[in-house]
Structure 1
């Protein structure tokens, strides 16, 4: 049985290969392969300032951005609400 994460990764890879092949065919050059890896860097940081820290470990400084954590995965301490 294949998980949803695997299917999502496979679909993303397939779409990426199709877009790359289309750009290669349209521009008729392999230079598109040099540019495509940098596309995610161009769009990094658009739309939000960063994750909001919800809870923090008082001992090691681990910061959780989701309320799904109750305990620190590093040392097992109970997380405290971050005051920021």
Structure 2
């Protein structure tokens, strides 16, 4: 069974190739092929990184996590603090 992400990627590739063929037939130019890899950036969500949990880190060792269930470092037991430079 094909997952939803794989299906979305396949539809995107087929759509991109179909659009490429149509543009080539209409313009007789291969220049647009340079821009095809950038199409996903046009439809990317701008706020994608804002709803991720903040990075929490240990002040004694280099342990970092985004998992909100961790309040203390699993290595030395010290309290984790939010990193300010996410």
* TM-score bracket relative to the smaller structure: 0.5 to 0.7
Q: Which residue of 1 aligns with 2:62?
A: 60
Q: Which residue of 2 aligns with 1:21?
A: 21
**Counterpart pick for 1:51 among 49, 52, 58:** 49
The answer to whether the Cα contact below 8 Å between 1:24 and 1:30 also exists between their aligned partners in 2 is yes
Structure 1: distance between partners of 2:74 and 2:8: 32
How many matched pairs? 75
The answer to whether the Cα contact below 8 Å between 2:56 and 2:83 also exists between their aligned partners in 1 is no
TM-score normalized with structure 2 length: 0.54
Which of the pair has more CA radius of gyration?
A: 2
Structure 2: gaps of 5 or more residues: none
Structure 1: gaps of 5 or more residues: none
